[in-house]
């Protein structure tokens, strides 16, 4: 990295408008999205090329970034640039249906797939951490997390509370980068939520960003506010300062009327979880002075925290782990029935994956928010409430996102769409580009956390019906099929979300530039990509997926003949 004031490239901002820097929209799109990932409004630490998620980078080094920009600017319509962990390593002659960019990030051979070896190679300048959408140039800021969290709580509502969290109280902790989306996601589902956070600045920031409604001065106050709002069936989010490892057991002790419990403290890293008995002000000094002892104390506290969550589970509350490894860390301290608590994917998200549903997202290359507003209207027209009760959730999200989400970088939108839905949205956007209703092309992509694009036994593929959690053929087939179907750029990464050795995942982005060729590619990519989710779950034995395949004509060779 270079210091900000000595780096003439900074700040980076993608070009806006209709004037091309590259030779066509098919290469202008990856160029703008690479630059957009490093926009200071989008990236956490653009001066280090870090976009989000720890050290998830968009490019390996500044010379590699320069070479990416230079190559994308000159790349022809029958050429493909190859990117190896954030560095362009070749340009090959292909054809116009081929992706313009193929990306492989952070991949290591199995026995070497650990952080130690990765750091060694990174130090040598041979690799970089691509996270999921950092190194594949389709990160759109915190909207993605808000929508995923909204979707999870909507699924909780569907499973237990007749489709709405109205009249229920949720308890959670952690108002950090990801966890800060929880209060708004619960109130968007009409619920009441108490959020425990030990860092007052995090509570303050969430109030300023209108993600959190009120800050209660005590636990009693928080509980009184929550019960009052619940009884009035009014959505309300309440922040309370404290340590979750004390407050959750205290609420269990007094038999508080909590309906849903989860947690998004940074439990995956014990040094980032505040143990009971350590003052917030002393956190930094104490973990530096004795990391080993601190880790033990943090795990002991997590065990108390998790034991109380299990206590609520025994009393009939809806309890789930939200992907922060608190179960595994708590079990390291002592047996506390942590794994009685289900992970959020098997509990709520898997049924959506069976239908090929996942985080479909798009960005307006014009930079004009009016283009996204027009696509929002198109989604509401395409998926009317009369057609399916399921569209109610989608429509609530799109409407609220239009009102509440502040764009970061190029205006963008995310919503979960399934097999048979994504290509309809993509084709409509392409028509809108062709007709001039949108001022410039749209890029259509998704998170790597999707129905058929990831193998991650602690998260997306936890507890698969047939035990196939660690089978990583699926994300590789996903990347291959997107390449064969006409995606504009395709990526295969290792280690995103849950770290080295724990996941393999793939991504695709396709550009709607208004041409007939783009329409043909969009139809195939946005059918086959979610189709991977359907076949992956049919193969694992999910009946819901088999029903979807039968209803929509997805071919499953082993079921034919």
List binding-site positions for NAD(+).
53-54, 131, 177-179, 197, 202, 243-244, 264-268, 273-274, 322, 497
Among the listed residues 333, 169, 325, the one whose alpha carbon sits nearest the alpha carbon of residue 251: 169
Q: Give least dist CB 202 to ligand NAD, A.
A: 4
Neighbours of 173 (CB within 10 A): 28
CA–CA separation, 369 and 192 (whole Å): 31
The alpha-helical segments, DSSP class H, found in 290-325 are: 291-314
Among the listed residues 198, 195, 231, the one whose alpha carbon sits nearest the alpha carbon of residue 215: 195
Q: Give least dist CB 136 to ligand NAD, A.
A: 17
Q: Which is nearer to ligand NAD, 155 or 266 (CB)?
A: 266
- 191 Cβ partners below 8 Å, 6+ apart? 153, 157, 164, 165, 166, 168, 169, 170, 235, 260
Q: Which is nearer to ligand NAD, 127 or 182 (CB)?
A: 182
Q: Give least dist CB 196 to ligand NAD, A.
A: 5
Q: Give least dist CB 73 to ligand NAD, A.
A: 34
Among the listed residues 230, 219, 207, the one whose alpha carbon sits nearest the alpha carbon of residue 254: 219
Q: Give least dist CB 462 to ligand NAD, A.
A: 11
Transcribe 436-469 into DSSP letters.
Answer: TSSSS-EEEEE-SSSTTSEE-TTTTTTT-TTS-T
Q: Which is nearer to ligand NAD, 43 or 173 (CB)?
A: 173
The structure tokens listed for 183 are: 């209060």
The structure tokens listed for 382 are: 């395409």
The binder of ligand NAD chosen from 9, 16, 119, 268 (CB under 6 A): 268
Taking residues 181 to 220 in sequence order and writing x for each that binds ligand NAD by CB under 6 A, - otherwise, the string is ---------------xxxx--x------------------
- Taking CB under 6 A as the binding criterion, the range among 6-14, 23-31, 64-72, 242-250 that sits at the site for ligand NAD is 242-250
Q: Which is nearer to ligand NAD, 73 or 296 (CB)?
A: 296
CA–CA separation, 359 and 523 (whole Å): 17
173 binds ligand NAD (CB under 6 A): yes
CA–CA separation, 69 and 235 (whole Å): 47
Q: Which is nearer to ligand NAD, 80 or 286 (CB)?
A: 286
415 is an active site residue: yes
- Taking CB under 6 A as the binding criterion, the range among 170-178, 352-360, 407-415, 439-447 that sits at the site for ligand NAD is 170-178
The shares of helix, strand and coil residues in the chain, as percent rounded to the nearest 5, are 45, 15, 40
Rounded to a whole number, what is the largest CA-CA distance in the chain? 69
The binder of ligand NAD chosen from 25, 322, 407, 458 (CB under 6 A): 322
Q: Which is nearer to ligand NAD, 175 or 425 (CB)?
A: 175
274 binds ligand NAD (CB under 6 A): yes
Q: Which is nearer to ligand NAD, 267 or 464 (CB)?
A: 267
Q: Give least dist CB 473 to ligand NAD, A.
A: 23
The binder of ligand NAD chosen from 178, 308, 379, 554 (CB under 6 A): 178
Report angle CA 146, 152, 157 to the nearest 5 degrees: 120
The binder of ligand NAD chosen from 38, 229, 245, 538 (CB under 6 A): 245
Among 198, 336, 415, 451, the one annotated catalytic: 415
- Taking CB under 6 A as the binding criterion, the range among 113-121, 259-267, 366-374, 543-551 that sits at the site for ligand NAD is 259-267
Q: Within positions 284 to 303, which residues make up the interface with ligand NAD, using CB under 6 A? A: none
272 binds ligand NAD (CB under 6 A): yes
Among the listed residues 66, 70, 78, the one whose alpha carbon sits nearest the alpha carbon of residue 26: 78
Q: Measured at CB, which residue is nearest to ligand NAD?
A: 176
Q: Which is nearer to ligand NAD, 163 or 176 (CB)?
A: 176
CB 12 within 8 A of CB 37: no
The structure tokens listed for 100 are: 């313009």
265 binds ligand NAD (CB under 6 A): yes
- Taking CB under 6 A as the binding criterion, the range among 220-228, 261-269, 378-386, 542-550 that sits at the site for ligand NAD is 261-269
Q: Within positions 105 to 124, which residues make up the interface with ligand NAD, using CB under 6 A? A: none
174 binds ligand NAD (CB under 6 A): yes
179 binds ligand NAD (CB under 6 A): yes
CB 412 within 8 A of CB 453: no
CB 366 within 8 A of CB 439: yes
Over 370-435, what HEC string results? HHHHHHHHHHHHHCCCCCCCCHHHHHHHHHHHHHHCCCCCCCEEEEEECCCCHHHHHHHHHHHHHH
The binder of ligand NAD chosen from 76, 177, 249, 402 (CB under 6 A): 177
Active site residues: 415
The residues binding ligand NAD (CB under 6 A) are 173-179, 196-199, 202, 243-245, 264-268, 272-274, 322-324
């Amino acid at each position: 990295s270079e210091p900000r004031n000595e780096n003439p490239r900074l700040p980076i901002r993608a070009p806006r408008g209709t004037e091309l820097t590259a030779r066509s929209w098919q290469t202008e799109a990856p160029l703008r999205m690479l630059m957009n990932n490093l926009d200071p409004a989008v990236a956490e630490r653009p001066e280090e090329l870090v976009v989000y998620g720890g050290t998830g980078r968009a490019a390996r080094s500044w010379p590699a970034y320069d070479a990416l920009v230079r190559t994308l600017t000159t790349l022809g319509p029958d050429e493909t640039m190859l990117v190896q962990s954030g560095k362009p390593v070749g340009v090959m002659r292909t054809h116009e249906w081929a992706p313009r960019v193929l990306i492989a990030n952070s991949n290591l051979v199995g026995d070497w797939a650990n952080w130690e070896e990765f750091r060694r190679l990174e130090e040598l300048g041979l690799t970089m951490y691509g996270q999921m959408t950092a190194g594949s140039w389709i990160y759109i800021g915190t909207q993605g997390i808000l929508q995923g969290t909204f979707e999870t709580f909507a699924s909780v509502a569907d499973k237990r509370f007749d489709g709405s969290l109205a009249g229920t109280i949720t308890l959670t902790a952690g108002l950090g980068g990801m966890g800060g989306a929880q209060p708004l996601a619960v109130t968007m589902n009409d619920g009441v939520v108490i959020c425990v956070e030990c860092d007052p600045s995090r509570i303050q920031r969430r109030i300023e960003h209108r993600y959190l409604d009120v800050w209660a001065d005590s636990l009693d106050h928080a509980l009184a506010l929550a019960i009052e709002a619940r009884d009035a069936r009014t959505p309300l989010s309440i922040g309370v300062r404290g340590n979750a490892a004390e407050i959750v057991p205290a609420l269990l002790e007094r038999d508080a009327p909590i309906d849903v419990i989860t947690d998004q403290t940074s439990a995956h890293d014990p040094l980032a979880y505040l143990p009971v008995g350590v003052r917030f002000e002393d956190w930094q000094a104490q973990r530096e002075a004795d990391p080993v002892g601190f880790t033990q104390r943090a795990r002991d506290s997590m065990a108390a925290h998790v034991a109380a969550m299990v206590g609520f589970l025994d009393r009939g509350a809806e309890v789930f782990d939200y992907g922060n490894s608190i179960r595994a860390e708590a079990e390291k301290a002592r047996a506390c029935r942590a794994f009685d608590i289900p992970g959020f994917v098997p509990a709520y998200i898997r049924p959506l994956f069976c239908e090929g549903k996942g985080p479909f997202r798009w960005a307006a290359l014009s930079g004009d928010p009016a283009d996204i507003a027009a696509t929002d209207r198109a989604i509401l027209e395409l998926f009317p409430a009369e057609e399916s009760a399921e569209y109610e959730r989608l429509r609530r999200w799109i409407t609220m996102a239009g009102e509440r989400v502040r764009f970061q970088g190029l205006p963008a939108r995310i919503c979960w769409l399934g097999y048979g839905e994504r290509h309809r949205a993509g084709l409509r956007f392409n028509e809108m580009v062709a007709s001039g209703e949108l001022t410039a092309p749209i890029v259509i992509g998704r998170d790597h956390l999707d129905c058929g694009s990831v193998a991650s036994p602690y998260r997306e593929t936890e507890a698969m019906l047939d035990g196939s959690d660690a089978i990583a053929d699926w994300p590789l087939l996903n990347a291959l099929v997107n390449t064969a179907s006409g995606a504009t750029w395709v990526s295969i990464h290792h280690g995103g979300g849950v770290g080295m050795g724990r996941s393999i995942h793939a991504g695709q982005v396709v550009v709607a530039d208004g041409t007939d060729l783009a329409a043909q590619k969009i139809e195939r990519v946005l059918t086959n990509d979610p189709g991977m989710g359907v076949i992956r779950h049919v193969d694992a034995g999910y009946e819901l997926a088999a029903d979807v395949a039968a209803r929509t004509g997805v071919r499953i060779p082993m079921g034919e003949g």
